[in-house]
Amino acid sequence: MAHNNSLGLILLVEDHAPLLRSMAFLLEVAGFDVVTAGDGEEAMSLLRQQTPDVVISDVNMPNVDGYELLRRIRTTSQWRKLPFIFASARYEMEDLMYGLELGANDYVPKPFDIYDVLDAIERTVPGLINDRRHRLAG
């Protein structure tokens, strides 16, 4: 669960450690709580402990890749509607279409900046950022 002063909880899944650390830091600065995983297997383990507001995942990862992670999430009843965003260098049209067919809510191409990711979060979970910001300010 997110803390009271948080915009929400994000599960960030990325096998490239420097990118994982920098993305997590930027999302925390933006106001989110972030838990991180290095691949889909670790992400599934974290999901069993707590359900985030949004999952942001790379596609190409060892062990369990992003596509398989999304497949597993969409076939588990409690997570079937869990907001899911791919953030990946695999951004050919067939990659984008395949990810969306599997049930991704959005797809952000690498390289990206934090605003691309925040825009995708707002598109995927309308109001998550702005509504909570207003409540926190009030």
Residues of the chain with pLDDT under 50: 1-2, 136, 138
pLDDT of residue 128: 80
Q: How far apart are CA 105 and CA 29, in angstroms?
A: 24
User: Does residue 3 lie within any of the structural domains?
Assistant: no
Contacts 24+ apart (CB under 8 A), 66-71: 66/13, 66/40, 66/99, 67/98, 67/99, 67/102, 68/40, 69/13, 69/40, 69/43, 69/44, 70/99, 70/102, 70/103, 70/104, 71/102
Residue 83 resides in a domain: yes
Number of separate domains in the chain: 1
pLDDT of residue 72: 96
The answer to whether residue 1 is domain-embedded is: no
Q: Round to whole Å and give the CA distance between 26 and 48.
A: 25
Residue 2 in any domain: the answer is no
Angle at which helix 114-124 crosses helix 17-29, to 10 degrees, equals 70
- List the CATH number of the domain containing 124: 3.40.50.2300
Model pLDDT, residue 3: 55
User: Which domain, by its residues, includes 82?
Assistant: 9-137
Distance CA 95, CA 123 (A): 20
In a domain, 75, yes or no: yes
For the chain, first and last CA: distance in Å? 21
Task: Look at residue 88 and tell me if it is in a domain.
Answer: yes
| pLDDT tens by residue, 97-133 | 898 899 999 999 888 889 999 999 999 998 887 765 5
Predicted pLDDT of residue 4: 60
